[in-house]
A and B are shown apart, each in its own frame.
Chain A
Amino acid sequence: MARIDLVDLAHSYSGNDAPPDSFALKPVTMTWRQGGAYALLGPSGCGKTTLLNLISGIVTPSRGKILFNGSDITPLSTQKRNIAQVFQFPVIYDTMTVGENLAFPLKNRGVPKAEIVARVKRIAELLDLAPYLNRKATRLTADAKQKISLGRGLVRSDVAAILFDEPLTVIDPELKWQLRSKLKALHRELDLTMIYVTHDQTEALTFADTVVVMHDGRVVQSGTPAELFDKPAHTFVGYFIGSPGMNIVPAHVDGREARIDGHIIGLHRNYGVLPSGAKIEIGVRPEFVDIAPPASGLLSATIERIDDLGRIRFARVRVGDSKFAARVPPGFSVPDNMAGLVFDPAHVHVYADSRLVEGVA
């Protein structure tokens, strides 16, 4: 049980003297609550696995500190940290039975035999592995093997946090849901801090109560799934989360007005002072842009195609040089390819150099 603090933590695989831009993980300071369910979300190569390996101690940071409950554990080896980690591919010890696999971490730590038996029994029941305790672990399916790797972490009573490194990659789709809800249930039951690395937004948003989005070695936003959806702090979060992603178009912003392609869109807040020389863009999710018949007050667009997602339809349109995705209201049909766009001003955000600008109400 622990709160984990990262203090100015950074890492470069080519040493501390490497140019700051080449760092796999740029300096980050943040806190992971005791008992939180976190997802580390980002595309491949964004530094999320590096961050995970720094916390578990597999990688030693070039810079900064890691605190567990306030005490500095940066120099401690993986063995001495109370951390469990589940890897992308199930790691099981081939020659051992399921029971021996689960007992392995306790045996290595010299736990008394009676206690080992009791812990293994409890964890096996928790993970529905009890019927297989005497089977050779190699004979099981991938999801059962992944449960064993998880069980080896849970079996230790001292574990502060469990780290997952894309643990469902090799699991069949229908089993993914089962295993993920199992993880949620375990999280509720055991009050453990869980950090879950993934590049799949559905996985992240369904698992976690706090999603940490990473991009190019930086933590760009951390918040609840709703916050990430409603108010992306960075244009990257905008288009990485949501399907289709956020519309981000260059615009001219002045006070409560944004100008795109000569057309004026009303804004909910006042953006009086914008950083000069910055690249100004507005971002709006396709869910908050509606297609309407062309009219004089609307931004006019050319429809390129319409994607029917079953319950909802999105139109891909072109306005001048920029592309938009917009919602097609039910029952709407356009005579020709011309349409107007209706914006919901409350959900139009302004970005300066890719970062969200908070306007004044």
Chain B
Amino acid sequence: MLSVLTFLPLLVCVLLLALPGSLPDRWCTWTWVATAAVDLALVAVLWAGFEPGGGMQAEQRMRWIPGAGVGYHVGVDGLSLPLLALTCLLFLAAAGYSLRGTRATRAYVCLFLFLQTVCLGVFVALDLILFFVFFDLSIVGMYFVIAGWGHGERARAAALKFFLYTFTGSLALLLGFIGLYLAAEPHTFDLVDLARARPLAGRGGYAALVLLALGVGLAVKTPTVPFHTWLPPAHTEAPAAGSAVLAGVLLKMGTYGFLRIAMPLLPGSWRRYALAIAVVGAVSVVYGALVALAQTDFKRMIAYTSVNHMGYIVLAVGAAGTLAGTDVQARSLAVTGAVVQMVSHGLITGALFLLTGVLYRRGRTYAMDAWSGLAAHTPRFAAVTAVAAFAAVGIPGFSGFVAEFQILTGSLASQAVATAVALLGLLLTAALFLRALRTMFLGTPRLPGSVPVGGPGDLDAREAVPTVTLLAVALVIGVAPRFLLDVVEPAGRTVAELVAR
């Protein structure tokens, strides 16, 4: 089941490549939409059969490279299931958004299908090398998306920076994995076995070095301050669907790695360095928001808010590693909030990036001060963007609040100062999104010269359906979060307990 879910897009990708060259572009895109829809349906089936609190489910284990202790081991639990659903939903949204057409459509579609398999693979992998392969391939896929379909020469530079930076990070990660492998007896890369054996318990310096390698590798991908500077150019130059996937799914691989690998495998070191992790998270929150506040480019601003939003997750996982003065309720609340924040950020920021693509199609610019009073010309676009902005601000009724409330409430007891500082992020994001809305959409109407005669058209169906769907799911989570929390909470509690042992 899981393998079908994961490799279905890759299969379709191969079939598409094998078909003769005269295939119309529209067929390619519709094939993509259909594949993404089927994958989403498969996740829905998986979700329906999922037993909350039942630990790892739908496991599949096969020999792969037994000599090196590497196996093909996949499974799903409360941490990964929401992310699988998010991935399928975001790729479906990106597919729908891409129906408007692009250059070299078949290659574009194949690349995204490949990326979907890779992203799903990261979230189902239960073997470190399998995880690493998917983790690395995601970088390769995204490199080609940015370089091939981005905004010209600068896109290639940004893609190269993205590739080299995150690839360096993944090498650090590999180093950490090898460190774990060597410490385990018998040598293995299997996550479940490693978590059971805890090979580094009581080995202070060695464990700290392994945690450092893992931490740096995952922090680059997340990204946290100060490893975040690949993110703004990559986002700004990528095509809208690429940005949505990059922000919505690829960033989650970093924070997912913290929850799946670093915390259960290195609980002792995690507890020892929890303060540092929480501080990095709080700094990312405030620093990301402040730098975003100073941006004049709409897409770049949203890119920096990703640093801010992902910072909350790092704060929460840091707080979950601090035992002093807390009970398990607070710590599992923080972990649950972190998982919800991953989903929430994927939905909301994915929608926001698709909306920046809408803006770019209208006027070939992201500069905020080039626009004014856009709501007069494009009321639907303005309304949807305003809703997305308020969702990103964390207004109750949307998923962002459910996530941030749990994170902040659960983290205050253990990391009081860092959490209090991170609270300011709520105010700063409100300020920067309100400023963007005011500058671009409200006030006296004024358009940039690059808008074609006849004015900018409002959202059409192919733009509205993907963005509104993402926001609608965020709304459902915000109003009735139990269907998600029922799945996440047991897993969050498990992680909190694993760290405490």
A joins B in a complex: no
